[in-house]
Homo-oligomer: A and B are copies of this chain.
Amino acid sequence: MTMHRWSQLFIPTLREAPADAEVASHKLLLRAGYIRQLGAGIYSYLFLGNRSVNKIVAIVREEMNRIGQEFLLPALNPKEIWEASGRWSGMGENMFRLKDRKGAELCLAMTHEEVMTSIARNELRSYKQLPQIWYQIQTKFRDEPRPKSGLLRVRQFLMKDAYSFDIDEAGLDVSYNKHDVAYRRIFTRCGLQFVAVDADSGAMGGSASQEFMVYTDAGEDLIASSASGYAANIEKATSQLASVESLAPTGDGLPELVHTPGQRTIDEVGAFLNLAPVHQIKTMAYMVELPEADHAKLGKLRAVVVFLRGDHSLNEAKLLTIAGGELRPMVAEEIEATFKAPAGYLGPIGLEAAPHPKKPGTLVILDKALEGRTNLIAGANKEEYHLRNVTPMRDFKPTLAADVRNIVEGELDPIDGQPLRLGKAVEIGHIFKLGRKYTASMGASVLNRDGKEVTPIMGCYGIGIERILTAAIEASAATNKGEAYALHPAIAPFQVVVTITNIGDEALLAAGEKIAADLEAAGVDVLLDDRDERAGVKFKDADLVGIPYRINIGRGVAEGKVEFLDRLRSITEDVALNEVTAKVSGQITSTLHNSLSTAGL
């Protein structure tokens, strides 16, 4: 191998990032000379960026080869197979479309269920050929409406996408679990701290789905997780609540009016009555626009009233799932017309609830946090009055009780009771029990053991290659004031930079050359900074480009010493010249191997 010398390489570092770069990874990828923008959401990967991407690809390939077979499918897809699956129109403006010289319509594939299923349809005949796991690492195209955040939201990117074909659900469980393990190994080897979140499979129509997420403020999802391994998207997250001692009853213990002139909000009523919000019922009224199928039975618009604990907030996504249509808050006039109650004093008692979600009437939902509570304060459906002693189920019956609230940071996870962390995150992978949507619509079938034609069941599984890089940079930048980052030695473009502080000094030059050559002989991926630059410039560049380990060849050489920086552990120490190779290569080897064994993978 030829030694990599910084002086010969194209590493165009920048002192400042362009003004339009917002998130840390975007700024740093540009400043470190990893990427350059060619157009909106379109980037060129330069030497260092491509080198890091190649290392990630190699890890993904190695782990995927343990469970499946690699293919390479065309980006250019004929319209026909997308019409067969029914997605030609469904993909809308997100899919790039074009015509060839003969006028035939093509698209640039965003995903490859269609191609994979067409191969399965044409080639698989018998249960004996199952299971199959087919994957590829390939360029995807997507006409993002708002490309932004550097490599986080782009129009062309690399994806590892995999597809499994099984004879039945039990087979799919096995294929799905294999991917779960492979993904954990991949992300762990790349040095990422991730959480696996139960995701809503939503529009894709499957039955189980998990997203692999990395906490970062650059993310667009909000997730909750705990040390026990519990993790969920905010739209699905639940928690254990600390028990609350209810108020003592007043009077005969039955609901009684209390005059609350001008006190409408939870805070106002709480202050006025000197009660914590936790003892109050928060009432929220919505109108839901129902889908056409429900019009005959339930009407076009339906009133939805939600009762929450006073200190809780509503999660609209959770409510949406129950309400079954588009939601908007009711305006005061609607509240007054529908419930004959003033908007600020709406409450549960006297409100007529539909007896069942599928029966007509107001859909009244009691958040589960109010179950079992007694003697609460609630609106009295009467101007300037609230009620004391309100006890759900005794004093009023909702249509149903359900979890519709947002969990709060620090609450305990519902399984092991560990405190929850709540934060923004970015998705790096997704595994998904897809079902028979594509095999059925495209007519793939095999003969089962009994000679009967059956439709194979599919799983699909994706990893965003660049997402691994950006997530790693975001995570590291957060601990480096956004000015630098250090990548895990498995995915850094180089593992060690040997910085000769003054190339004019023959002794330093010789020492640097020797250490770099020794490290390379020990299998370490080394960059030798032999540029004719000031030491300060070199140190800054080295930190900027994300190399985790640095050896400074400076004046200490005269006393047989060099300086070793472990940027992952923030340690700087002097090491003897004759020990540095063993020390650094040992540190790298243990860092590469520890992560998997620590994670029990």
Contact = CB atoms under 8 A, between A and B. Distances in A.
A51 B101 CA distance: 32
A42 interface: yes
Contacts of A129: 10
A71 B43 contact: no
A77 B123 contact: no
A50 B72 contact: yes
A4 to B, nearest CB: 9
A69 B10 contact: yes
A402 interface: no
Contacts of A77: 38-39, 42
A75 to B, nearest CB: 6
A39 B51 CA distance: 33
B98 A70 contact: no
Copies of this chain, whole number: 2
A155 B77 CA distance: 11
A76 B155 contact: yes
B139 A75 contact: yes
- Interface secondary structure of A, over-half rule: mixed
B132 A78 contact: no
A573 interface: no
Contact of A96 (B42, B69, B78, B98): B98
Interface stretch (A114-122, A188-196, A248-256, A581-589): A114-122
A479 interface: no
Contact of A44 (B65, B73, B141): B73
20 contacts: A2-B66, A10-B123, A36-B122, A36-B123, A38-B81, A40-B104, A42-B77, A43-B74, A44-B73, A44-B115, A45-B73, A46-B119, A49-B72, A50-B70, A54-B70, A76-B141, A93-B101, A100-B143, A100-B155, A108-B108
Interface of A: 2, 9-10, 12, 36, 38-40, 42-47, 49-51, 53-54, 65-66, 69-78, 81, 93, 96-98, 100-101, 104, 106, 108, 115, 118-119, 122-123, 129, 132, 134, 136, 139, 141, 143, 145, 155-156
